[in-house]
A and B are shown apart, each in its own frame.
Chain A
Amino acid sequence: MTRLAPNGVLDVKALRGEFPVLARDIRGKRLSYLDSAATTLKPLCVINAVDRYYRHGTANIHRAVHLLSEEATGLYEATRTAACQLLNAADEREVVFTTGTTGSINLVARSFVKPRLKAGDEILLTGMEHHANIVPWQMICEETGAKIIVAAINDDGSLDLASFKKLIGPRTKFISCVWISNALGVINPIKEMIDAANAAGVPILIDAAQAVAHVPIDVQTLGADFLAFSGHKLFGPTGVGVLWGKLQHLDAMPPMLGGGDMIKTVTFEKTVYADAPAKFEAGTPDIAAVIGLGEAIRFVTEDVGFKAIHSHEESLRNKAEAALRDVVNLKIIGTAEPKLPIFSIVMGNIHPHDVGSILDSYGVAIRTGHHCTQPLMARFGVQATSRASFSIYNNEEDIENLVKALWKTQELFA
């Protein structure tokens, strides 16, 4: 059911009713959930889809001929179709279900990139990567003698695009970069980055974990080689994600896990693997989560839509930015535009954990710490920040509560 008002604007009040957690009382206060960059809340339709599978239709997939198994297989594969449409992929076989963005990146690192690496080769990353887009590459570099090259970040949190382009050279064997920074909310010029990779003939992976709930994705227009996202940052369940890859790459990649559901024939002498994507989906997957993800994709594309998301989030960003500007002794790291309503806040000498605890006592849920981006924190000379991140269900009251609690924090430590 659409959650847009007749004028095409998000009906936030009605939408909030879809997210049961928002009705919770947090230490006697109304919940201001401002941690959607860590994970989004789940709408009832997603919760119901997961519940329905367990309550009404539990069965394994791709196996039996009985009705329950056929239904489960149908729902599981319908999510693949939905993900294919969400990404505007050319072929459903390009959509691989994984455990999440981390699982997707590790699969590409192990199966696609590592066999191509030798000592002295380079993998290009940016200085704003999540640990999930650093550590897998370090692991294969240690095993092969290849090394990681890092494109610089400007003082305003934007990528130094010229340095990024300059770092693509004859030794660059792979590029992996984040579309939208989870720590700062800054949106990278992803199309230009992909074009530069393509021009040099270097395959590129896009970490779309933070992008997927905020911007429309068209992998055919983007022209990247791989793209990864997690279901739980798209209003879906945890434990499921997608790796999209060009079919010729997926076909050429060896599977990482052997087991059931990824084979054509097995004898004790030899196994013939299934084609992509099945060869990457060994064992019984998190069927309920995949079904929930399908419902989440339907929810975000049909009930809400990226146009309404963009205008609502831009409005939140402008209002929150203006309100935060008035708080004394408060600095935002990552001010470059375009950006999402994600605010990485530093408040003088007040430690982010103290900020987080005071805000929590006012029902304001934010993330404090390094946001799994320690190199980026080091770039800005901080150990940690207090991060407030907004999503479709947030409203002006959340901004007011945030700012009020930040003022209270200032008073307490003044």
Chain B
Amino acid sequence: MNQAASELYQSTVLDHNRSPRGYGELSGTTHSAEGFNPICGDRVKIQVIVGQGAIKEIKFTAQCCALCRASASVLTEVMGGQPLSFAKSLSLSFQSFIQGDAQPAADLAKSAASAFFAIKDYPARAKCVLLPWHTLSSSLTDQLTVSTEPKE
């Protein structure tokens, strides 16, 4: 595989795409949201059970590309069992690293999400990776749907 492809599709990413963790429906959810990218048609649903200030369980379903699916899978892995404050700061750090100039927080850099860091150099695909993260953020703030595009 050549360099550009191997940066984007690291073995972690391919593995999560092939065997996504946390895939499926959750019963007794306290928070959920759907994310949609109208440009490519990607759809992600994130379901969460929050209790005692922490994400007790998190699952997703999706119809999307490999990057989006792997990203959702990694998201469920790194967020499961974590306090809400950690989830929010990790999400924020990831988004501002990918789309801005910020350096990744230490927790983020050592998490599985670092497999997606190369996406920073491929802005056309950044939305694919960020969609599940945006969707989780909006579910936690009780927004029911989120789009990668500005509201009409």
Give the interface of A toward B (CB within 8 A). 27-29, 350-354, 357-358, 360-362, 368-370, 383-384, 408, 412-413
B61-77: contact bitstring with A at CB < 8 Å (1 yes, 0 no)?
00111110000000000
Question: Is B120 at the interface (CB under 8 A from chain A)?
Answer: no
Check A408 against B5 for contact (C-beta < 8 Å).
Answer: yes
Which of B116-152 touch A at CB < 8 Å?
122, 125, 128
Question: Is B41 at the interface (CB under 8 A from chain A)?
Answer: yes
Check A350 against B66 for contact (C-beta < 8 Å).
Answer: yes
Query: A351-B64, A354-B66, A354-B67 given as contacts; is B40 within 8 A of A412 (CB)?
Result: no
Query: A370-B41, A383-B41, A384-B40 given as contacts; is B65 within 8 A of A354 (CB)?
Result: yes
What is the minimal beta-carbon distance from B132 to any residue of chain A, in angstroms? 15
Check A383 against B1 for contact (C-beta < 8 Å).
Answer: no
A302 to B129, CA, bound (A): 48
Check B5 against A361 for contact (C-beta < 8 Å).
Answer: yes
Check B8 against A369 for contact (C-beta < 8 Å).
Answer: no
Question: Is B54 at the interface (CB under 8 A from chain A)?
Answer: no
Check A357 against B5 for contact (C-beta < 8 Å).
Answer: yes
Check A353 against B128 for contact (C-beta < 8 Å).
Answer: yes
Q: A352-B40, A412-B5 are in contact. List 8 more A-B contacts (CB 8 A).
A: A27-B3, A351-B66, A357-B8, A357-B67, A358-B5, A358-B9, A360-B4, A361-B2
Q: Which listed residue, B63, B64, B66, B122, touches A413 by the CB 8 Å rule?
A: B66
A358 to B2, CA, bound (A): 9
Q: Which listed residue, B14, B63, B65, touches A353 by the CB 8 Å rule?
A: B65
Check B41 against A384 for contact (C-beta < 8 Å).
Answer: yes
What is the minimal beta-carbon distance from B18 to any residue of chain A, in angstroms? 8
Q: Which listed residue, A358, A362, A383, A413, touches B40 by the CB 8 Å rule?
A: A383
Check A369 against B4 for contact (C-beta < 8 Å).
Answer: no
What is the minimal beta-carbon distance from A344 to any residue of chain B, in angstroms? 15
Question: Is B106 at the interface (CB under 8 A from chain A)?
Answer: no
- What are the 7 A-B residue pairs with the smallest beta carbon separation, nearest first? A351-B65, A361-B4, A383-B41, A361-B5, A353-B65, A354-B66, A27-B4
Count of chain A to chain B residue pairs whose CB atoms are closer than 8 Å in the complex? 56
What is the minimal beta-carbon distance from A227 to any residue of chain B, in angstroms? 31
What is the minimal beta-carbon distance from A407 to any residue of chain B, in angstroms? 12
Q: What total of chain B residues lie within 8 Å of the partner, measured CB to CB?
A: 21
Enumerate chain A residues within 8 angstroms of B122, measured Cβ to Cβ: 357
What is the minimal beta-carbon distance from B11 to any residue of chain A, in angstroms? 10
Enumerate chain A residues within 8 angstroms of B40, measured Cβ to Cβ: 352-353, 368-369, 383-384
A and B contact pairs by CB, cutoff 8 A, 30 listed: A27-B2, A27-B3, A27-B4, A29-B2, A350-B66, A351-B64, A351-B66, A353-B40, A353-B128, A354-B9, A354-B67, A357-B67, A357-B122, A357-B125, A358-B5, A358-B9, A360-B4, A361-B2, A361-B3, A361-B4, A361-B5, A369-B39, A369-B40, A383-B63, A408-B1, A412-B5, A412-B9, A412-B14, A413-B14, A413-B66
Enumerate chain B residues within 8 angstroms of A369, measured Cβ to Cβ: 39-40
What is the minimal beta-carbon distance from A411 to any residue of chain B, in angstroms? 8
A68 to B122, CA, bound (A): 45
Which of B75-127 touch A at CB < 8 Å?
122, 125
- The residue of chain B having its C-beta at the shortest distance from the C-beta of A358 within the complex is B5
What is the minimal beta-carbon distance from A386 to any residue of chain B, in angstroms? 12
Q: Which listed residue, B8, B41, B65, touches A361 by the CB 8 Å rule?
A: B8
Enumerate chain A residues within 8 angstroms of B67, measured Cβ to Cβ: 353-354, 357
Q: Which listed residue, B2, B39, B64, B125, touches A362 by the CB 8 Å rule?
A: B2
What is the minimal beta-carbon distance from B91 to any residue of chain A, in angstroms? 23
- The residue of chain B having its C-beta at the shortest distance from the C-beta of A355 within the complex is B65
A284 to B137, CA, bound (A): 48
A354 to B2, CA, bound (A): 15
Enumerate chain B residues within 8 angstroms of A352, measured Cβ to Cβ: 40, 65
Check A353 against B125 for contact (C-beta < 8 Å).
Answer: yes
- The residue of chain A having its C-beta at the shortest distance from the C-beta of B17 within the complex is A413
A358 to B17, CA, bound (A): 15
- The residue of chain B having its C-beta at the shortest distance from the C-beta of A362 within the complex is B2
Enumerate chain A residues within 8 angstroms of B125, measured Cβ to Cβ: 353, 357
What is the minimal beta-carbon distance from B51 to any residue of chain A, in angstroms? 35
Enumerate chain B residues within 8 angstroms of A408, measured Cβ to Cβ: 1, 5
Q: Which residue among A27, A352, A361, A369 has the maximum number of chain B CB atoms within 10 Å of its CB?
A: A361
Which of B1-39 touch A at CB < 8 Å?
1-5, 8-9, 14, 17-18, 39
What is the minimal beta-carbon distance from A319 to any residue of chain B, in angstroms? 25
A65 to B8, CA, bound (A): 59
A351 to B18, CA, bound (A): 13
A351 to B43, CA, bound (A): 13
